[in-house]
A = this chain, B = another copy of it.
Amino acid sequence: MSNLRLTALLALVVALPAPADWFSEQEIETARELRERALAGDGGFEIVADLTTRIGPRMAGTEADAKAVAWAEELLNDIGFDRVWLEPVTFDTWHREFERVTVRAPGVTEQELVSLALGFTPATPEGGIEAEVVMFEDLAALQAADAEAVEGRIVFIANRMERSRDGSTYGPAVQARSQGPQVAAEKGAEAIVIRSIGTSNNRFAHTGMTRFDDASQAIPAVAISNPDADQLERMVALGEPVTVHVEVSAVYSEPYTSHNVIAEITGSESPERIVALGAHLDSWDVGTGALDDGAGIAIITDAARLILDLDERPKRSIHVIYFAAEEIGLLGGRAWAEKHHKNFENYQLGAESDFGAGPIYEIAARVSDEAWPVIEAIQAELEPLGIELGGREASGGPDFIPSLPHGLAVVDLRQDGTDYFDYHHTDNDTLDKIDPDNLAQNSAAYAVLAWLAAQSPKDFGSGPELLEQ
């Protein structure tokens, strides 16, 4: 048993002052029981082990996507949710066949670099593209460059993502991936190679989405691993022109319909009022999507199962939502927002787990002023898990972002992501990267949150008026 688990169990023994203004003693007692049972169990780990073993990689629009949806429906029915249903999500698809980046320079032996094509980028002509490399320190340097320095060349953006607990270093770094290809294309580049948006020195390339304003002008875009980016930098530093050969084979296919998979614990008093827990079922086509986002699937399902096991149903309903096609553009989240936003006065709170399996250290929430003390009261029951009270800015997680403009109230249970970008979108995102104790801490936090939010004497303020706050 971890120290954390022990601390949490001891906390049950020591009588804490109940925030009786908001919850009954019995409700608080139930929250503590849920917390204890989550920490003592390994139901979450079993779920992510089963998903990653039986389904493995499950990129949106692949055969494995359909298998994952079937797996999910069966699991949620087997657990005994009151209702399980599917909501369709239709999207264009793309799949990778292979990519190969080879570097040639005078006095250097031809070497292949470890690479992954970025999602939805075009194939090269058969036989690939070969051109001289023009290296930029970062996206800003590329943006500032004259087109004539770029035209006909292969752009290389060299800057490296820094490590951070809260993942805040991802946003600035990922612009090289999200915007770099478009900028390079505008300036006439033949292709673009970026240093992976990742923090480890292991030799894995990190894939992910990019965007072109005009698909007809899209260029092949690949990421290379950190060690390979170092290598390419060293080759460029030798001072002679460096040539890179890029070959990508990838296929765009017909639109595909996947599904958001939703399971309900039907509320006993206000069943139309909903606390929505989310995670996404799809993964990239590399790795088995254990951290991204098998862990999230496991956490919210384990939390909800513990609530289902109670003798009573919560007052409000709880939804467990497995979003489809998150990786390729939050498509499940968009479809969900589109379908449900007119009813957001009933969808009272959204919280998605999609940042791996590190321990949660903070709760933040975007809720009405009136509901904020309820969040404080919930935090008091998360405190024994090492979870502190954060601020009033929150996104709810990627799949709830499309709901934010419609005023969905959201909670962030913020995880320690120090190592998350070592594995994110790589072949190396596999089950062994999950610490079962940390996963259980997450389940405990989501169980406490979902239970108390479903019992809350106040709604959380979802709806257009939240936007004005």
Contacts and interface: CB of A to CB of B under 8 A. Distances in A.
Interface stretch (A47-55, A214-222, A321-329, A454-462): A47-55
Interface in A196-210: 201-204
Contacts of A67: 109
Contacts of A288: 111, 231
Interface stretch (A26-34, A332-340, A379-387, A425-433): A425-433
A56 B230 contact: no
A305 to B, nearest CB: 21
Contacts of A230: 430-432
Given A203-B430, A432-B201, A56 B111 contact: yes
Contact of A428 (B64, B202, B430, B431): B202
A52 B63 CA distance: 41
Contacts of A432: 201, 226-227, 230
A92 B409 CA distance: 69
A231 B427 CA distance: 13
A57 interface: yes
A176 B80 CA distance: 46
A201 B231 contact: no
Contacts of A54: 107-109, 238
B109 A227 contact: no
Contacts of A433: 201
A107 B51 CA distance: 11
Contacts of A49: 234
Contacts of A58: 109
Interface in A55-84: 55-58, 63-64, 67
B427 A114 contact: yes
A interface: dominant SS: mixed
A111 B286 CA distance: 10
A39 interface: no
A235 interface: yes
Contacts of A427: 114, 203
A56 B228 CA distance: 11
B53 A231 contact: yes
Interface residues of A, number: 35
Nearest to A56: B111
A204 B55 CA distance: 21
Interface in A4-59: 49, 52-58
Nearest to A52: B231
Contact of A56 (B55, B109, B201, B238): B109
Contacts of A57: 111
Interface string A286-313: 0110000000000000000000000000
Contacts of A238: 53-54
A53 B227 contact: no
A227 B64 contact: no
Contacts of A201: 430, 432-433
A137 to B, nearest CB: 19
A291 to B, nearest CB: 12
A90 to B, nearest CB: 22
Interface string A129-155: 000000000000000000000000000
Interface in A86-117: 107-109, 111, 114
A109 B431 contact: no
Contacts of A55: 108-109
Contacts of A204: 202-203
Interface string A416-457: 000000000001101111000000000000000000000000
B202 A53 contact: no
A63 B110 CA distance: 10
A56 B102 CA distance: 12
A461 to B, nearest CB: 42
A92 to B, nearest CB: 22
A203 B287 CA distance: 9
A67 B109 CA distance: 8
Which 8 A-B pairs have CB atoms at the shortest separation, nearest pair first? A227-B430, A56-B111, A201-B432, A53-B234, A203-B428, A64-B109, A55-B109, A202-B202
Given A56-B109, A64-B109, A203-B427, 8 more contacts: A52-B231, A57-B111, A111-B288, A201-B430, A203-B430, A226-B432, A227-B431, A230-B432
